Protein backbone atom coordinates (compact mmCIF):
# COMPACT_ATOMS: atom_id res chain seq x y z
CA UNK A 1 0.00 0.00 0.00
CA UNK A 2 1.22 3.45 -0.91
CA UNK A 3 -0.06 6.69 0.58
CA UNK A 4 0.38 10.03 -1.16
CA UNK A 5 -0.93 12.35 1.52
CA UNK A 6 -0.55 15.71 -0.22
CA UNK A 7 -2.43 14.37 -3.23
CA UNK A 8 -4.99 12.62 -1.00
CA UNK A 9 -4.45 9.29 -2.75
CA UNK A 10 -4.06 5.75 -1.39
CA UNK A 11 -2.87 2.93 -3.66
CA UNK A 12 -4.38 -0.37 -2.49
CA UNK A 13 -2.17 -3.25 -3.63
CA UNK A 14 -4.21 -6.13 -5.05
CA UNK A 15 -1.91 -9.20 -5.10
CA UNK A 16 -0.57 -10.36 -8.49
CA UNK A 17 -1.42 -7.09 -10.29
CA UNK A 18 1.99 -5.39 -10.51
CA UNK A 19 1.78 -3.77 -7.09
CA UNK A 20 5.41 -4.56 -6.23
CA UNK A 21 6.58 -2.86 -9.43
CA UNK A 22 4.49 0.23 -8.64
CA UNK A 23 5.81 0.22 -5.10
CA UNK A 24 9.41 0.18 -6.34
CA UNK A 25 8.71 2.92 -8.88
CA UNK A 26 6.94 5.22 -6.43
CA UNK A 27 8.32 4.44 -2.97
CA UNK A 28 10.54 7.53 -2.95
CA UNK A 29 7.59 9.71 -3.95
CA UNK A 30 5.12 8.22 -1.43
CA UNK A 31 4.54 9.64 2.04
CA UNK A 32 3.91 6.17 3.43
CA UNK A 33 4.94 2.76 2.09
CA UNK A 34 3.51 -0.39 3.63
CA UNK A 35 5.45 -3.27 2.10
CA UNK A 36 5.19 -5.85 4.91
CA UNK A 37 3.64 -7.90 6.35
CA UNK A 38 1.48 -9.11 3.41
CA UNK A 39 -1.72 -8.59 5.42
CA UNK A 40 -0.96 -4.85 5.52
CA UNK A 41 0.77 -4.49 2.15
CA UNK A 42 -2.24 -6.09 0.49
CA UNK A 43 -4.89 -4.35 2.61
CA UNK A 44 -8.28 -4.76 0.91
CA UNK A 45 -10.86 -1.99 0.84
CA UNK A 46 -12.83 -3.44 3.77
CA UNK A 47 -9.73 -3.36 6.01
CA UNK A 48 -8.73 0.09 4.76
CA UNK A 49 -12.28 1.30 5.54
CA UNK A 50 -12.12 -0.10 9.07
CA UNK A 51 -8.63 0.94 10.11
CA UNK A 52 -6.97 3.49 7.81
CA UNK A 53 -9.83 5.65 6.54
CA UNK A 54 -10.95 6.66 10.07
CA UNK A 55 -7.36 7.61 10.92
CA UNK A 56 -7.07 9.89 7.91
CA UNK A 57 -10.48 11.44 8.52
CA UNK A 58 -10.48 11.77 12.31
CA UNK A 59 -6.82 12.49 13.01
CA UNK A 60 -5.83 14.40 9.87
CA UNK A 61 -9.21 15.69 8.67
CA UNK A 62 -8.36 14.33 5.21
CA UNK A 63 -10.65 12.72 2.65
CA UNK A 64 -8.48 10.26 0.73
CA UNK A 65 -9.26 8.75 -2.66
CA UNK A 66 -8.36 5.12 -3.33
CA UNK A 67 -6.91 3.50 -6.42
CA UNK A 68 -6.30 -0.15 -7.35
CA UNK A 69 -5.64 -2.49 -10.27
CA UNK A 70 -7.53 -5.67 -11.15
CA UNK A 71 -6.49 -8.34 -13.58
CA UNK A 72 -8.55 -10.46 -15.98
CA UNK A 73 -9.65 -13.33 -13.68
CA UNK A 74 -8.26 -16.25 -15.72
CA UNK A 75 -4.98 -14.40 -16.15
CA UNK A 76 -4.92 -13.54 -12.42
CA UNK A 77 -5.61 -17.13 -11.37
CA UNK A 78 -3.04 -18.36 -13.89
CA UNK A 79 -0.46 -16.07 -12.31
CA UNK A 80 -1.25 -17.47 -8.87
CA UNK A 81 -1.07 -21.04 -10.19
CA UNK A 82 2.34 -20.42 -11.80
CA UNK A 83 3.63 -18.48 -8.77
CA UNK A 84 2.77 -21.38 -6.49
CA UNK A 85 4.44 -23.82 -8.90
CA UNK A 86 7.93 -22.33 -8.39
CA UNK A 87 10.57 -24.98 -7.58
CA UNK A 88 10.82 -23.87 -3.94
CA UNK A 89 7.08 -24.54 -3.51
CA UNK A 90 7.40 -28.25 -4.30
CA UNK A 91 6.07 -30.22 -1.35
CA UNK A 92 4.67 -27.08 0.32
CA UNK A 93 0.95 -27.19 1.19
CA UNK A 94 0.39 -24.12 -1.02
CA UNK A 95 2.34 -25.58 -3.95
CA UNK A 96 0.49 -26.45 -7.17
CA UNK A 97 2.89 -29.11 -8.51
CA UNK A 98 0.37 -31.89 -7.81
CA UNK A 99 -2.49 -30.41 -9.82
CA UNK A 100 -3.05 -29.16 -13.37
CA UNK A 101 -4.61 -25.75 -14.06
CA UNK A 102 -8.12 -27.21 -14.43
CA UNK A 103 -7.70 -28.87 -11.03
CA UNK A 104 -6.51 -25.60 -9.51
CA UNK A 105 -9.56 -23.77 -10.90
CA UNK A 106 -11.90 -26.53 -9.67
CA UNK A 107 -10.35 -26.17 -6.20
CA UNK A 108 -10.71 -22.37 -6.37
CA UNK A 109 -14.43 -22.76 -7.06
CA UNK A 110 -15.03 -24.83 -3.91
CA UNK A 111 -16.82 -23.22 -0.98
CA UNK A 112 -13.97 -24.28 1.30
CA UNK A 113 -10.85 -23.90 -0.81
CA UNK A 114 -7.80 -26.06 -0.13
CA UNK A 115 -4.75 -24.01 0.90
CA UNK A 116 -3.07 -24.23 -2.54
CA UNK A 117 -6.13 -22.58 -4.16
CA UNK A 118 -6.95 -20.15 -1.36
CA UNK A 119 -5.73 -16.99 -3.11
CA UNK A 120 -8.51 -14.58 -2.22
CA UNK A 121 -10.81 -12.64 -4.50
CA UNK A 122 -10.25 -9.46 -6.45
CA UNK A 123 -13.98 -8.74 -6.26
CA UNK A 124 -13.94 -8.99 -2.45
CA UNK A 125 -10.74 -6.93 -2.30
CA UNK A 126 -12.38 -3.94 -4.00
CA UNK A 127 -15.98 -4.51 -2.89
CA UNK A 128 -17.76 -1.27 -1.86
CA UNK A 129 -18.59 -1.02 1.83
CA UNK A 130 -22.09 -0.61 3.30
CA UNK A 131 -21.13 2.87 4.59
CA UNK A 132 -20.53 4.05 1.02
CA UNK A 133 -16.73 3.72 0.96
CA UNK A 134 -15.70 2.65 -2.51
CA UNK A 135 -12.75 2.83 -4.84
CA UNK A 136 -12.65 6.06 -6.77
CA UNK A 137 -10.18 4.76 -9.38
CA UNK A 138 -10.05 1.17 -10.64
CA UNK A 139 -7.77 0.23 -13.52
CA UNK A 140 -7.22 -2.94 -15.56
CA UNK A 141 -3.88 -4.74 -15.48
CA UNK A 142 -3.88 -5.06 -19.26
CA UNK A 143 -4.23 -1.26 -19.51
CA UNK A 144 -1.56 -0.18 -17.04
CA UNK A 145 -0.64 2.65 -19.38
CA UNK A 146 -3.90 4.37 -18.33
CA UNK A 147 -3.07 4.00 -14.66
CA UNK A 148 0.50 5.17 -15.23
CA UNK A 149 -0.78 8.26 -17.04
CA UNK A 150 -3.23 8.93 -14.21
CA UNK A 151 -0.50 8.63 -11.58
CA UNK A 152 1.97 10.77 -13.52
CA UNK A 153 -0.64 13.51 -13.83
CA UNK A 154 -1.87 13.27 -10.24
CA UNK A 155 1.59 13.01 -8.65
CA UNK A 156 3.38 15.23 -11.15
CA UNK A 157 6.20 12.70 -11.50
CA UNK A 158 7.47 10.19 -14.05
CA UNK A 159 6.59 6.57 -13.26
CA UNK A 160 9.41 4.29 -14.42
CA UNK A 161 8.21 0.72 -14.08
CA UNK A 162 10.18 -2.49 -14.30
CA UNK A 163 8.80 -5.99 -13.96
CA UNK A 164 9.15 -7.50 -10.50
CA UNK A 165 7.95 -10.53 -8.55
CA UNK A 166 6.81 -12.25 -11.75
CA UNK A 167 5.35 -15.71 -11.84
CA UNK A 168 7.33 -18.26 -13.88
CA UNK A 169 6.44 -18.42 -17.57
CA UNK A 170 4.35 -21.47 -18.42
CA UNK A 171 1.70 -22.33 -20.99
CA UNK A 172 -1.63 -23.06 -19.32
CA UNK A 173 -4.66 -24.77 -20.80
CA UNK A 174 -8.20 -24.81 -19.53
CA UNK A 175 -11.01 -27.06 -20.65
CA UNK A 176 -14.08 -25.30 -22.04
CA UNK A 177 -16.29 -26.92 -19.38
CA UNK A 178 -14.17 -25.61 -16.51
CA UNK A 179 -14.03 -22.13 -18.03
CA UNK A 180 -17.81 -21.97 -18.44
CA UNK A 181 -18.29 -23.08 -14.84
CA UNK A 182 -15.70 -20.60 -13.55
CA UNK A 183 -17.43 -17.75 -15.37
CA UNK A 184 -20.71 -18.76 -13.71
CA UNK A 185 -19.44 -19.47 -10.19
CA UNK A 186 -17.09 -16.49 -10.10
CA UNK A 187 -19.24 -14.01 -12.03
CA UNK A 188 -18.38 -11.20 -9.60
CA UNK A 189 -14.69 -11.51 -10.50
CA UNK A 190 -15.38 -10.97 -14.20
CA UNK A 191 -17.88 -8.17 -13.50
CA UNK A 192 -15.31 -6.23 -11.46
CA UNK A 193 -12.72 -6.61 -14.19
CA UNK A 194 -15.16 -5.43 -16.86
CA UNK A 195 -16.09 -2.40 -14.75
CA UNK A 196 -12.46 -1.22 -14.48
CA UNK A 197 -11.07 1.56 -16.67
What is the per-residue pLDDT for 194?
96
Residues in the chain with pLDDT < 70?
164-165
* pLDDT tens, position by position, 114-166: 999 999 999 999 999 998 899 999 999 999 999 999 999 999 999 988 876 67
Name the β-bridge partners of 65: 9
- Domain ranges in the chain? 2-195
Tell whether domain 2-195 is in CATH 3.40.50: yes
Estimate the crossing angle of helix 176-185 against helix 73-83, to 10 degrees. Answer: 110
> Strands 65-70 and 9-11, how do they pair?
parallel
The Cα–Cα gap between 106 and 98 comes to 14
Q: What CA–CA distance (Å, rounded) separates 50 from 182?
A: 31
Predicted pLDDT at 164:
67
Nearest Cα residue to 13 out of 73, 67, 54, 55: 67
137-140 and 65-70: which strand pairing? parallel
d(CA 115, CA 132): 32
Contact 101, 172 (CB under 8 A): yes
User: In this predicted structure, what is the pLDDT of residue 170?
Assistant: 84
Amino acid sequence: MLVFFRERLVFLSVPKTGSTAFESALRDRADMVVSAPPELKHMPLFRYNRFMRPMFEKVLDAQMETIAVVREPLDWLGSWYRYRRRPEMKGHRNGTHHVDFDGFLEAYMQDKRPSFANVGSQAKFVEPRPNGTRLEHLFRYDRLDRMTAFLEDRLQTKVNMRRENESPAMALTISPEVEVRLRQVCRAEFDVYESAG
